[in-house]
Amino acid sequence: MLVHTIKEVRDQVKEWKKEGLTIGLVPTMGALHEGHLSLIKKAGSCCDKVIVSAFVNPIQFGINEDFDKYPRAIEKDYKLCSENGVDILFNPDVKEMYGTNEQTNSNNFTYVTPPYFYVDKLCGASRVGHFDGVCTVVLKLFNIAQPDKAFFGEKDAQQAIIIKKMVKDLNVPVEIITCPIIRSNEGLALSSRNQYLSDEGKKEALALNKILTNINNCYLKGITNVSALKETAFSFLNNHHELEYLEFFDADDLSEKQTADNNTRVFIACRVDGIRLIDNKKLGE
């Protein structure tokens, strides 16, 4: 069922709750790929009913980011959802989510603001306000769908960590389930933004996974010094790449690691021919 209004979701959820059914929510920005489908399948295996939201959320995009050109493909998304047992695909427009405010901002709208310690690094450092927008829309979706469990990909690992922190801090009655990154056969982490890449760009983009895999191999051989592990990255980079960050943080609380251990996650962001891509890997796996 494809629905566009909050009321339709609420009415259906109310019926399901009356019947004692459990609900899984998969929040997405649409343009679904195998990564999203892995979340949907996981939700279907844990919950009686599955709601997928497909909403390109304007308040998590910066002023010079790709909100307008971000891929939208609701018909294809709906087909994929139908084939994968999704009960509701929720595809609201911006007005349905944010009302008639011309430009929603902190002057006229209530925001959820994640802790500064979690957002002043990695993607949050270059995308100021991004995670405020993410937390705000995710809490709205939780309040609309009232799921028992919600499913997020480890591809956006900082996002998943911040959402878990929000849920804990605000006592949100939703269990957060994270699912592993899905990769192409060549190793590229799936992302809706991969559509922006040329064929050559797709080859060059493999560097991200190669860097992470090589770092993990070095770690498994006993190298734990973070500076030494970072040094190994540069041999994979050429003039198609513009490295934004390569950082080692605690996988739960994003504190910085000087020495890598089994709770360390390595995060990378790199522009490939101008297209910004991210990837990450937990060490020791």
Residues that bind its own copies (CB under 8 A): 6, 10, 18, 20, 99, 106-117, 135-136, 139-140, 143-144, 146, 165-166, 168-173
What residues contact 231, with CB distance under 8 A and at least 6 apart?
none
Instruction: Select which of 4, 33, 36, 240 is catalytic.
Output: 36
Q: Are 262 and 277 in contact (CB under 8 A)?
A: no
Residue nearer to its own copies on the CB measure, 169 or 252:
169
Q: Which residues of 73-101 are buried (b: 16+ CB within 10 A; e: fewer)?
A: ebeebbebbeebebbbbbbbeeeebbeee
Residue nearer to its own copies on the CB measure, 134 or 260:
134
Is the alpha carbon torsion for 127, 133, 137, 140 positive or negative? Answer: positive
Residue nearer to its own copies on the CB measure, 49 or 241:
49
Question: How far is Cα 79 from Cα 81, in angstroms, rounded to an integer?
Answer: 5
What residues contact 277, with CB distance under 8 A and at least 6 apart?
189, 191, 193, 194, 205, 208, 269, 270, 271
Task: Quickly count: other Cβ atoms within 10 Å of residue 120's Cβ.
Answer: 11
Residue nearer to its own copies on the CB measure, 142 or 236:
142
Catalytic residue status for 36: yes
Task: Give catalytic residue positions.
Answer: 36
